[in-house]
Amino acid sequence: MSRLQIIFVPDWHGAGPGHWQRLWAEQMPHAWCVEPQHQIPLRREDWLAALEARVLASDAPVLLVAHGLGCIAVAHLAATAAARVHGALLVAPSDPERRAQLSSFAPVPYAPLPYRSVLVASSTDPTCPVRLAGAYGRAWGSEFVRMQNAGHIDTDAGYGPWPLGQALIQSFIQDTQAPQGDAPAAAPPPLASSFTAEPLAHP
């Protein structure tokens, strides 16, 4: 069992059936997901309040697994929450200045993240040019992985289980393996928010 608490941070329209975040969560019964209810325009303050509360409620270092606008939400985390983060896998970050309904997430923070991060970007992502994604990665101090012609790295682009992403997430987990016999931590209660924080577990 990993010593990390994994929290998925989906894109602004969520992670539906078949999305790699949902598929991975089926194999991680103590993972949580903080995703928006479909309100337009999105309120950055609401999403950050729910995400920061979930991070601070964890009794273990946190691994954030974000997609799209979720990557930008992660970059906006307050220092108190960021201090609890062990690492972040940031996949296909969106440019919030390209959509009026996402404008509360602009400007994007360009401060270095205080933990290890890996940013994965696509050369054909319609939500963010790869050069801009690269600029995010340089500013955040992220390791950068460029994928060719991978769209938004989602189900529409043909990405379901996504083995490369699973290998990247495993790189964060490898050095935090708990000894045999450790009991899994109990899942914390859901948080009340206009953004939902829900445990992701096997049915």
Q: What pLDDT score does 200 carry?
A: 39
The residue assigned the tokens 């200045």 is 97
Q: How confident is the model at residue 40 (pLDDT cuts 50, 70, 90)?
A: confident
pLDDT above 90: residue 178: no
Q: What is the mean pLDDT of the chain?
A: 86
In angstroms, how far is CA 89 from the centroid of its own chain?
6
pLDDT-based confidence at residue 38 (cuts at 50, 70, 90): low
Domain count of the fold of the chain: 1
- Give CA–CA dist 109/198, Å, rounded: 27
pLDDT (0 to 100) of residue 58: 95
**Angle 113-114-119 from CA coordinates, rounded to 5°:** 40
pTM: 0.85
What is the per-residue pLDDT across 124-153, written as a single tens digit (0 to 9) for each?
Answer: 999 999 999 999 999 999 999 999 999 999
Instruction: Count how many residues are written for the chain.
Output: 203
Q: pLDDT of 92-122, one tens digit each?
A: 999 999 888 899 999 999 999 999 999 999 9
CATH code at position 186: 3.40.50.1820
What average pLDDT score do residues 22-31 get? 89
- Token representation of residue 94: 């969106």
User: Which residues constitute the domain of residue 19?
Assistant: 5-200
pLDDT at 177: 59
Render pLDDT for 61-96 as a digit per residue (tens, 0 to 9).
Answer: 999 999 999 999 999 999 999 999 999 999 999 999
What 3-state DSSP class applies to 21? helix
pLDDT at 29: 80
pLDDT of residue 175: 62
What is the structure's pLDDT at 193?
A: 29
Q: Bridge partners of 23?
A: none
Higher confidence at residue 2 or residue 100? 100
